[in-house]
């Protein structure tokens, strides 16, 4: 009976969070979604909603905090780690962005998005044209016709066919 009540409470919190997000009350949505996670809601469903709510309102640090809390329990969640890396990049914390994105690339060497993001960080924030070139080349190897292929080719140290 206690399990049934807990599941129902979690479902209600999640539903309320979704409802507040749908009407644009992101502050309440964040509160309910965070509470749902705290009560044991499925992170695969609740965490992306929670992070989206925070990003919608420009609360990147809150999104990072929620995601980092999740990563403490699930350090191998590479999707969340990628999002954390991009959020750190968005707030200008290059070292933390790079660390998270390199963890993703180490575990998934063919992750084109992570390579692209690392390349842009190296080029735009670290003035590391060699590092940028390496990641742009990996991006192009993985996704030669990807949405960032033109930019990647233009950013190479030596043009590639």
Q: What is the pLDDT of residues 114-155, one digit of tens each?
A: 999 999 999 999 999 999 999 999 999 999 999 999 999 999
75 Cβ partners below 8 Å, 6+ apart? Answer: none
Query: Within 10 Å of residue 97's Cβ, how many Cβ atoms?
Result: 22
Could you tell me the pTM of the whole model?
A: 0.88
E strand map for the chain? none
- How many residues in total does the chain contain? 161
Q: Residue for token digits 């640090």?
A: 61
Structural domains present in the chain: 1-74 (1.25.40.10), 99-161 (no CATH)
Token pair recorded at residue 24: 């644009």
């Amino acid at each position: 009976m206690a399990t049934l009540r807990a599941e129902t409470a979690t479902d209600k919190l999640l539903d309320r969070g979704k409802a507040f997000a749908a009407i644009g009350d992101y502050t309440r949505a964040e509160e309910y979604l965070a509470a749902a996670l705290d009560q044991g809601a499925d992170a695969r469903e609740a965490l992306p909603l929670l992070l989206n709510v925070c990003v919608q309102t420009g609360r990147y640090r809150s999104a990072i905090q929620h995601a980092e809390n999740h990563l403490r329990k699930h350090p191998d969640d590479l999707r969340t780690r990628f999002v954390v890396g991009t959020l750190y990049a968005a707030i200008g914390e290059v070292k933390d962005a790079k660390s998270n994105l390199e963890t993703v690339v180490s575990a998934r060497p063919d992750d084109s998005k992570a390579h692209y993001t690392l390349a842009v960080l190296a080029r735009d924030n670290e003035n590391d044209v060699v590092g940028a070139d390496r990641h742009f080349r990996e991006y192009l190897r993985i996704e030669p016709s990807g949405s960032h292929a033109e930019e990647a080719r233009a950013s190479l140290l030596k043009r590639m066919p």
